[in-house]
C-alpha cells in the first residue's frame, strides 16, 4: 500500500494520510509502516522521541510526503 494524499495542520505537520481512499491518522500510518504494510516510507524518530513518517530516499522530491496532494 502507498500513501496517496496527506492532510496537514496549520503548522504544516502531516496529521492524516490517505491510502487506497481510506483515511488514517499519522499514528496509525506509523504503526502500519513499522509492520511493513506501507511502501516507500520508513519511520524516523525526532529529538523529542516522537516517531514520524518519512519517504525513502530515491532522488525524486515529487514523491516526498510533504509534496503529495492534500485532501
pLDDT digits 0-9 by tens, 16-50: 999 999 999 999 999 999 999 999 999 999 999 99
Q: Residues, the chain, total?
A: 71
CB 71 within 8 Å of CB 6: yes
CB 38 within 8 Å of CB 29: yes
Domain boundaries, the chain: 3-67
28 phi and psi angles, rounded to 5 deg: -65, -40
In this structure, of 10-14, 16-20, 58-62, 63-67, the range with the lowest mean pLDDT score is 58-62
Q: What is the pLDDT of residue 64?
A: 92
Amino acid at each position: 500500500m502507498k500513501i496517496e494524499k496527506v492532510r496537514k495542520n496549520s503548522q504544516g505537520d502531516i496529521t492524516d494520510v490517505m491510502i487506497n481512499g481510506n483515511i488514517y491518522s499519522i499514528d496509525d500510518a506509523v504503526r502500519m509502516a513499522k509492520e511493513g504494510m506501507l511502501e516507500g516510507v520508513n519511520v524516523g524518530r525526532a529529538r523529542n522521541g516522537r516517531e514520524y513518517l518519512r519517504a525513502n530516499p530515491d532522488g525524486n522530491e515529487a514523491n516526498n510526503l510533504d509534496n503529495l496532494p492534500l485532501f
